[in-house]
């Protein structure tokens, strides 16, 4: 009997919302990497995946020149690692090696156990940090799965598993989109625009992040029409937030860029990286795990007068056109081997969709008095400080300090480009 040819749809739906609200009594200082968790199992995942994140970033910038870039490296990596549980032979090897793992040094069980620890760490509840990542499998009703695959995705990746009728494409599409919308608090909508009736499995990984600055901005001093340089075109005008405070700051003379670190309440920081004019490409091609470590070691707390735009950006990507260029070939063609998922049907990945939303804004009236007081006192002090204008394209990284995982990575090319 000829095996039925079905398709696997890999969806990553995610969002990040950053809110500026009153600080807590706990200090916001500290370095990017806390020493207490450097040897955690989850960090084994992030060390190799950081370079994967930057390689994927470069591919996305080439595909979308002149546009904003925003995606979640940890979400994409987790989705692919979870899918690799059902892959065999070269299909499995390509996925794991592309994620940055040396399979001769790190056995596959250790990789999945490290992802298990990573997911557990990211989902630890915190009143100061809203962070949730999860996975779900929507499976064709008549698909006979390998019991070991279902058990592993549930145990290691905490994935929910649902049966669905893919022959009714409209209903299936609505059900999956509703699930992603709910899990991302309404931020990610319509992640699927079409479904093939031959779809066998849809894998969804979603991540939601909402955090509060430890040192918030004062909304009353935001300049609502500040010029932002966009390439060679006329500048656009954006709301520009402003404050004077102590932040982690460093300069990279090799790459001609400034690095600003701002802490969230909870175990997360944001890195804003501003290249000198005309040096963005040089910066992008030099991004690496070792460069990120170098920055974290050189940051020092300094008085900074900072201007950062208030913005909301989003991006959607068809990763099935990008991942093969990064070494993941077989999963998307006739050579795919997903016999670890089911032996009775031939599967390949037909779609790998990824959508991200990023909001950075200020809110909370309680923040006004404290921040205004600080701004007034600092200016009267007359203390010298560095002035940093993010009034041209810059990079942004949101990092979980408990695991060193890059939660979000992007480039703000035009803050008015939704």
Give the pLDDT confidence of 320-363 residue by residue, as tens digits. 889 999 999 999 888 989 999 887 778 888 778 888 888 886 64
Domain membership flag for residue 287: yes
Domain membership flag for residue 338: yes
Task: Identify which has the larger pLDDT, 382 or 378.
Answer: 382
Please report which residue ranges of 123-168 form alpha helices under DSSP H. Answer: 147-157
261 & 403 share domain: yes
For residues 298-337, one letter each, b for 16 or more C-beta atoms within 10 angstroms of the residue's C-beta and e for the rest, the string is ebeeeebbbbbbbbebbbebebbebbbebebbbbbeeebb
Of 387, 145, 112, 121, the residue nearest 267 (C-alpha): 121
325 & 293 share domain: no
192 & 224 share domain: no
CA distance 159 to 149: 11
Q: Work out the pLDDT band at 11, boundaries 50, 70, 90.
A: low
Task: Identify which has the larger pLDDT, 1 or 152.
Answer: 152
Domain membership flag for residue 64: yes
162 & 236 share domain: no
Strand partners, 163: 139
Instruction: Identify whether the C-beta of residue 203 lies closer than 8 Å to the C-beta of residue 180.
Output: no
Domain membership flag for residue 381: yes
Q: What is the pLDDT of residue 10?
A: 54
Q: What is the pLDDT of residue 12?
A: 53
Half-sphere exposure of residue 389: CA atoms within 13 angstroms, side-chain side: 11
pLDDT in tens, 90-125: 999 999 999 998 888 888 999 999 999 999 888 886
Range among 37-51, 205-219, 322-336 with highest mean pLDDT value: 322-336
Q: How many domains does the chain have?
A: 2
Domain membership flag for residue 418: no
Q: What is the pTM of this model?
A: 0.86
Average pLDDT estimate for 284-301:
94
Instruction: Identify whether the C-beta of residue 309 lies closer than 8 Å to the C-beta of residue 241.
Output: yes
130 & 272 share domain: no
Average pLDDT estimate for 221-239:
93
Q: What is the pLDDT of residue 257?
A: 96
At residue 229, does pLDDT exceed 80? Answer: yes
CA distance 264 to 213: 4
Average pLDDT estimate for 211-238:
91
Residue 274's CATH number:
2.30.39.10
Instruction: Identify whether the C-beta of residue 351 lies closer than 8 Å to the C-beta of residue 9.
Output: yes
CA distance 115 to 111: 6
- Strand pairing report for 394-400 and 268-275: antiparallel
Q: What is the pLDDT of residue 124?
A: 83
CA distance 365 to 344: 60
Domain membership flag for residue 355: yes
Average pLDDT estimate for 398-403:
90
Residue 280: C-alpha distances to residues 56, 304, 328, 385 (Å): 16, 22, 28, 25
Q: Which residues contact 359 (CB under 8 A, 6 or more apart)?
A: 16, 17, 18, 311, 312
CA distance 99 to 344: 28
337 & 400 share domain: no
At residue 128, does pLDDT exceed 80? Answer: no
Query: Which token pair is 36?
Result: 């207490």
Q: Work out the pLDDT band at 31, boundaries 50, 70, 90.
A: very low
Q: Work out the pLDDT band at 140, boundaries 50, 70, 90.
A: confident
Helix, strand or coil for residue 210? strand
108 & 220 share domain: no
143 & 112 share domain: yes
Domain membership flag for residue 156: yes
Task: Identify which has the larger pLDDT, 323 or 189.
Answer: 323
How much of the chain exceeds pLDDT 90, in percent?
A: 44
Torsions phi, psi of 46, nearest 5? -70, -30
333 & 302 share domain: no
Q: Work out the pLDDT band at 392, boundaries 50, 70, 90.
A: very high
Give the DSSP H or E segment for 80: helix 73-84
What DSSP character marks residue 264? B
Sign of CA dihedral 84, 64, 355, 69: positive
207 & 217 share domain: no
Domain that holds residue 219: 213-309+366-412
Domain membership flag for residue 417: no
305 & 402 share domain: yes
At residue 368, does pLDDT exceed 60? Answer: no
238 & 196 share domain: no
Neighbours of 20 (CB within 10 A): 26
Summary mean pLDDT of the chain: 82
Instruction: Identify whether the C-beta of residue 70 lies closer than 8 Å to the C-beta of residue 17.
Output: no
Residue 111's CATH number:
3.30.497.10
């Amino acid at each position: 009997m000829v095996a039925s040819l079905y398709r696997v749809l890999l969806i990553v739906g995610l969002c990040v919302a950053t809110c500026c609200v009153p600080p807590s009594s706990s200090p916001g200082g500290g370095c990017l990497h806390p020493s207490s968790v450097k040897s955690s199992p989850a960090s084994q995942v992030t060390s190799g995946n950081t370079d994967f994140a930057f390689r994927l970033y470069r591919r996305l910038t080439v595909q979308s020149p002149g546009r904003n870039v925003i995606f979640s490296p940890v979400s994409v990596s987790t989705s692919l690692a979870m899918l690799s549980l059902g892959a065999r032979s070269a299909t499995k090897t390509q996925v794991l090696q592309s994620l940055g793992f040396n399979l001769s040094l790190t056995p596959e069980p250790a990789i999945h156990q490290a992802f298990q620890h990573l997911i557990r760490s990211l989902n630890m509840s915190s009143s100061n940090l809203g962070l949730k990542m999860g996975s779900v499998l929507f499976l064709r009703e008549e698909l006979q799965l390998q019991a070991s695959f279902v058990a592993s995705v549930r145990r290691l990746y905490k994935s929910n598993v649902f049966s669905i009728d893919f022959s009714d494409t409209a209903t299936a599409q609505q059900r999956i989109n509703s699930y992603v919308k709910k899990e991302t608090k309404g931020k990610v909508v319509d992640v699927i625009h079409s479904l093939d009736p031959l779809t066998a499995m849809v894998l969804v990984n979603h991540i939601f992040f909402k955090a509060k600055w430890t040192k918030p901005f004062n909304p009353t001093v935001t300049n609502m029409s500040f010029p932002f340089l966009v390439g060679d075109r006329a500048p656009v005008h954006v709301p520009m937030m402003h404050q004077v405070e102590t932040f982690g700051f460093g300069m990279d003379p090799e790459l001609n860029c400034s690095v600003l670190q701002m802490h969230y309440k909870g175990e997360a920081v944001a890195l804003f990286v501003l290249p000198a004019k005309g040096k963005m490409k040089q910066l992008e091609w030099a991004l690496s795990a070792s460069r990120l470590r170098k920055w974290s070691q050189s940051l020092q707390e300094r008085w900074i007068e900072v201007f950062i735009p208030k913005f909301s950006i989003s991006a959607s990507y068809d990763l099935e056109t990008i991942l093969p260029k990064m070494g993941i070939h077989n999963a998307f063609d006739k050579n795919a081997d997903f016999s670890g998922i089911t032996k009775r049907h031939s599967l390949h990945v037909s779609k790998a969709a990824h959508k991200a939303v990023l909001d950075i804004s200020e809110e909370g009236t309680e923040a006004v008095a404290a921040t205004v007081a600080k701004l007034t006192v600092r200016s009267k002090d007359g203390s010298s400080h560095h002035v940093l204008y993010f009034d041209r394209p810059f990079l942004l990284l949101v990092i979980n300090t408990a695991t060193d995982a890059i939660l979000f990575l992007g480039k703000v090319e035009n803050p008015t480009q939704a």
